[in-house]
Structure 1
Amino acid sequence: MRVLTAAQMREADRITIQDLGIPSLVLMENAGRQVVAAIEAMFPNLAMRRVAVLAGHGNNGGDGFVIARTLLERVLDVSVFVIGPLAEVRGDARHNLEVLGRLGASVVEIGDEQAWELHFSEISTCDLIVDAIFGTGLKRALDGMYPTIVGDLNGSGIPVVAVDVPSGLLADTHEVQGEAVRAAVTVTLAAPKICHILPPAQRVCGDLVVADIGIPGVVIEQIDGPHVEVITRDAIRSVLEPRDPEAHKGEFGRVLIVAGSMGKSGAAHLAAMAALRSGAGLVTVATPRSVQPILAAMAPEYMTIGLPEDADGQVIPDGIERVLAASADVIAMGPGLGTGEGVRAFVHGVVERAGVPIVLDADALNAFAGEHAQRLAGRDGHDVIITPHPGEMARLLGISTEQVQQDRLTAARTFAEQHQLHVVLKGHRTLVAAPEGSVAINMTGNPGMATGGTGDVLTGVIAGWFGQLLDAEGAARLGVYLHGHAGDLAMADLGEAALTASDLLTYLGDAVLELAAERKPGDDEDE
């Protein structure tokens, strides 16, 4: 599902109206009626509720007038309040305002703060408020009487349904600049916007409903500009392919996990088991010699290779040839390796000489921090996926963690484009950025996954699917979705506080089963 900027949304409107010939009044009518459908679905006993519709001057207000008229058709008790002078309502919004007038609806003008104070007592007796004041066109924080209006709405305790964007939010940013309506439900039109998807703005949107107002999907997909999308169940399900009954283990990828050091064998084990739980045919763990017997005793399903090590039990450059000689379709490297100079040289050597795709996490990423970041790049026939948390991303970019968190989209996209690799920026709403600049946002996962080892599991999950799909972007998207979904299933049974990384391994199979079960008969007929 594509996520649009305000400018892209305007262009989608323009193409639909001017090029396809669908009148703007039709789109406004569709928008209003879709919002009413969402209200009816989410608020039972609607006929018993009093509704206040707060409308602005522009198209968002016009949507509000259609909503009011449609609710009145249901014989509801509806009051309409125009925020600002009625004379400033123009275009399609004016048309729908006049229709309301001809139907005998009461429309109250609120031109200043005094008028708001006078009429808020009436609004505060309602059971539901529709916020149709501002849409995607707002470009700055609210001023004048609007902060007072928003503050009163938020303090009223009355559920608010926001049309397109809660008033006060800016469509193109995840930040909340000044006062913003805290909606119970936001019905966004045609496509979600950044403010709906990324926190903290996402938190004030409430439940999100994406309404089809008649703009064809092909128009939305072909709009120029930044390509941001949400990873949906339907889209990611198409990546899964049923296994051939005559298939053998060699067809599902040979994954080499280069991980672990003395005291950190668990990281290597979690990554290896995650690759196996993700369907990898063969998994081998390359680890320091002193760690090899520990790992070999932890699970019988994967093989092990002992690597030369230093006095601290960390890998050294002498092990590069051993890794490169191993039979693998994909290499995953980093969990628990350590941060010594020998580790750095070892990682650089493997990455620069490997002839197969590679997934880098944790200490393998720290090996490229600061001035070494320029040595990290993908190339033709050698896809690279990196899976940093915000701190690791900051070290790669040479900025602070706070700066990364202020604009995660830009951080992930910039590094992916500049280094021609795939970035999986972990955290709430994990991002998957591709070398050409597209970014996908993952919606699965929960705070219970904020515990040691879950990142190691993600490394193994992505590597396991990478070995099967041989598609970096597809593996990264599928990996983050299933990793988060496994966490959600574990949380549902165990709660957030008790969740551990090993629990994700237990629930990965269930996550895949649920996703595969969503495939409809005939999904593969045209393939």
Structure 2
Amino acid sequence: MTDATPAASLAASSAASTATLVNPHDRAVPLLTVAQLRVSETAAQSAVPAHTLMARAGAAAAHFLLEQIAHAPAPLGAQPVWIVAGPGNNGGDALVVAAQLKRAGIAVEVCMPVEVKPDDARWALGVARDAGVKIVDAPPASFDAWGWLVDGMFGIGLARALDGVFADLAARLTARARQRGHVLALDVPSGLDSDTGNVVGDGVAVRATHTVTFIAAKPGLYTGAGRDYAGTVSVAPIGLADGIDFSNDTAPQAPAPADAPARLNAPALFADALPARDNATHKGTFGTLAVIGGDTGMCGAPILAARAALLTGAGKVHAGFLGNDAPPYDAPHPELMLHAAAKLSLDAMDAVAAGCGMGGSASARQLVDQILRLNVPVLLDADALNLVARDEALAARVTERAQVGDAPCVLTPHPLEAARLLAVDTATVQRDRLAAARALAQRFAAVAVLKGSGTVIAAPDGRVAVNPTGNAGLASGGTGDVLGGLIGALLAQRLPPFEAALAGVYLHGLAADTLVEQGDGPAGLTAGELAPMVRKLLNRRFYSRNLASA
């Protein structure tokens, strides 16, 4: 090694950077892919002394652990830390963490089943040895005596499924996270694809309670299975601006460059588009929405959507039913205007949300065709999407709307509906959710809202966001209808389609999160509970300041 001593190099590198940790909650931080991260790393490494980035990463993760240990109740705060180091640079990060903890007076042991190989990691091994860190090649029979467990096996470069001792350790760390918590993943949980949120090679991955991710947040930590595997995420920028660029913590410009990263959905992306609630406004100010659907036996779906639209601030809400068993009025909300769909004057609407409980009849197809000819914002959900998927003429009409100057449609498919629209299978959609959402946006010149864990919102101009709110409580009937009503109401209030989708998805998930925090979920949370909470959150977070200053 060319350095005077590994310890001196570590001290110099750590002094050059603070152990900054950023909580990405409510921040529109960029989500960098592996390719984007490699570009950032390469540029940074040419501008700083050798080993600097690894030293900073290890210092940041050690800082996180020291903070956690300092505030932990007994016996966790007094228990030693166990760290597993893989053979690559993720293992090097882990060794720096161990050295930092040891110097801070924390008992620590590193398990290194295979000795690290890259130059940076070999430097980190020297740092750990100089610090007096105990390094062994086999894990303990039990983790009962340990406090925090740290996963430093593999990072973003993993290309194949975990196997052997590393697969066994991934399973053991996951079991510990489920039982007692306190499992920290360095950069990404080992075995997780940081671009897609899928487990690499259909193998196993570490299910962590916390992740400290380096340089920038990654898409795979927030969508697909990644949200469950990553736990609570903190970002350590390690002195690079690419990951936490707060100057861009606003709505991405349209059109977005082809290589622009996705962003984490946050209020900064849509708050400025919400309409003012001035005293001199009236119901016409906030638009008229038509919710169309409800074939016989499915009339509850448009009622859920219409109630959600009403509570999200639309000035007037109509519900149009295809079925012959529609109620004459909605007793909880007599403000809603209920009609037979064929008798509703759609050309008088400011926006239309169609598809919930609509069915696939010829009448439904005719209505969708009529709606797509309107010069108003249109949201298509559920059965309307299935009609488009199997009807080339309807699909062409969706695409043509953007070409003739109408606002692009907002499409809100779940993965199976997305697969039908793209003529692929559901596994293909879920294999890369960001790519699927982008493909939908391009194929239909529409704003695509690919629902699921970490809903992806993609615009035809290239902007993409991944939503961080929501939980398992949304896995129940009718929640998608509520989302359609929320976005429809925002379209009626004249939000641009992309911003309406961002706001609706964010508030929908946040309502579920708030209800779970109150003990009203995830088990047993119902769709009908979401809209009242959305109203409360919308007013508290975006309108209370205006009212206080009036």
TM range (shorter): 0.7 to 0.9
Uncovered stretches (5+) of structure 1, i.e. residues with no partner: 111-115, 309-318
1:508-527 matched pairs, under 5 angstroms: 508-516=534-542
Counterpart residue number, 1:458: 483
Summarize the Cα distance change of 1:517–1:209 in structure 2 as closer, same or farther, 3 Å threshold.
farther
2:347 to 320, 325, 332: 325
Q: 1:24 to 1:226 in 2, by over 3 A?
A: farther
Q: Does structure 2 conserve the Cα–Cα contact (< 8 Å) formed by 1:15 and 1:219? A: no
Q: Which residue of 1 aligns with 2:355?
A: 334
1:30 alignment partner, one of 38, 44, 56: 56
Whichever residue aligns with residue 376 of structure 1, its letter is V
Which string of whole-angstrom CA distances, capped at 9 and with x for unpartnered residues, describes residues 160-210 of structure 1?
322112223332332223233332322111322233223334423333222
Do 2:66 and 2:101's aligned partners in 1 also have CA atoms closer than 8 Å? no
Aligned pair 1:108/2:135, yes or no? yes
Q: 1:354, CA displacement in angstroms?
A: 0.9
Equivalent residues in 2 for 1:61-100, closer than 5 Å: 61-85=91-115, 88-91=117-120, 93-100=121-128
Q: Distance in 1 between matches of 2:93 and 2:225?
A: 26
Q: Given the superposition, is the C-alpha separation of residues 228 and 520 from structure 1 closer, same or farther in structure 2, using an over 3 Å criterion? A: farther
In structure 1, distance between residues paired with 2:546 and 2:65: 30
- Cα 1:99–1:521 change in 2 (3 A) is farther
Post-superposition offset of 1:124: 7.2
1:164 to 175, 182, 187: 187
AA of the residue aligned to 1:399 = V
2:398 maps to what in 1? 376
CA shift at 1:520, angstroms? 11
For 1:134 and 1:293, the matched residues in 2 are separated by 58
Check whether the contact 1:4–1:228 (CA below 8 A) recurs between aligned residues: yes
Counterparts of 1:452 and 1:227, CA distance in 2:
33
**Which has the larger displacement, 395-404 or 475-484?**
395-404
- The answer as to 2:393 corresponding to 1:366 is no
The answer as to whether partners of 2:329 and 2:336 remain within 8 angstroms in 1 is no
CA distance in 2, matches of 1:224, 1:137: 23
Q: Compared with structure 1, are the counterparts of its residues 200 and 299 closer, same or farther at alpha carbon in structure 2 (3 Å cutoff)? A: closer
Distance apart, 1:277 and its partner CA = 0.9
Match of residue 10 from structure 1: 38
Q: CA deviation at 1:411?
A: 2.5
RMSD of the TM alignment (CA)?
A: 3.4
Deviation at 1:216, TM superposition (A): 0.9
TM-score by length of 2: 0.80
Distance 1:300 1:23, change over 3 A: farther
Cα distance in 2 between the residues matched to 1:109 and 1:16: 33
Residue in structure 2 matched with residue 316 of structure 1 by the alignment:
none
CA distance in 2, matches of 1:276, 1:366: 26
Letter in 2 for 1:332: A
Identity %: 36
Does 1:470 find its partner at 2:495? yes
1:180 alignment partner in structure 2: 205
Structure-1 residue corresponding to 2:531? 505
Match of 1:495 among 493, 502, 521: 521
C-alpha displacement of 1:89? 4.4
TM-score with structure 1 setting the length? 0.83
1:499 & 1:122 partners in 2: Cα distance?
38
**Aligned equivalent of 2:415, options 355, 366, 390:** 390
More displaced, 337-346 or 217-226?
217-226
* Structure 2 residue ranges without an equivalent (≥5): 1-28, 249-255
Does structure 1 residue 194 correspond to structure 2 residue 223?
no
Q: Distance in 2 between matches of 1:279 and 1:502?
A: 16
* Structure 2 equivalent of residue 408 of structure 1: 433
Give, in angstroms, the shift of residue 473 of structure 1.
Answer: 0.6
Letter in 2 for 1:2: P
Q: 1:422 to 1:63 in 2, by over 3 A?
A: same
Matched, 1:54 2:84: yes
* From 261, 266, 269, the counterpart of 2:300: 266
Give the distance between the partners of 2:299 and 2:390, measured in 1 at CA. Answer: 27
Deviation at residue 484 of structure 1 after TM alignment:
1.9
The one-letter code sitting in structure 2 at the alignment partner of 1:147 is A
Question: Is the Cα–Cα contact under 8 Å of residues 209 and 232 in structure 2 kept in the other structure?
Answer: yes
The alignment status of 1:350 with 2:371, answered yes or no, reads: yes
For the residue of structure 1 that corresponds to 2:388, the secondary structure is coil
- Classify 1:511/1:154 alpha carbon distance in 2 versus 1 (closer, same or farther; 3 Å): closer
Larger RCO: 1 or 2 (CA < 8 Å, sep 6+):
2
* Residue 263 to residue 184, structure 1, CA distance change in 2 (3 Å): closer
Report the alpha carbon displacement of residue 7 of structure 1 after superposing the two structures with TM.
1.7
Once the two structures are superposed, what CA deviation does each residue of 1:368-390 show, in whole Å capped at 9, x if it has no partner?
12243344324133220011223
Q: Secondary structure at the match of 2:101?
A: helix
Distance apart, 1:475 and its partner CA: 0.4
Matches within 5 A, 1:419-438: 419-438=444-463
Paired amino acid for 2:363: G
Q: 1:400 to 1:238 in 2, by over 3 A?
A: same
Contact 2:227 2:454 in 1 (8 A): no
Distance 2:128 2:101 in 1: 11
Q: Deviations over 1:112-148 (max 9, x none)?
A: xxxx3xx645987533332223221111113454334
203 and 304 in structure 1: CA distance in 2 versus 1, 3 angstrom threshold: closer
Matched, 1:134 2:161: no
The alpha-carbon deviation at position 464 of structure 1 amounts to 0.9
> Quick one: distance in 2 between partners of 1:137 and 1:441?
22
May I ask how many residue pairs the two structures share in their alignment?
497
User: What is the alpha-carbon distance in structure 2 between the residues aligned to residue 485 and residue 193 of structure 1?
Assistant: 21
The match for 1:253 is: 287
Query: Given the superposition, is the C-alpha separation of residues 102 and 272 from structure 1 closer, same or farther in structure 2, using an over 3 Å criterion?
Result: closer
Matched letter for residue 75 of structure 1: G
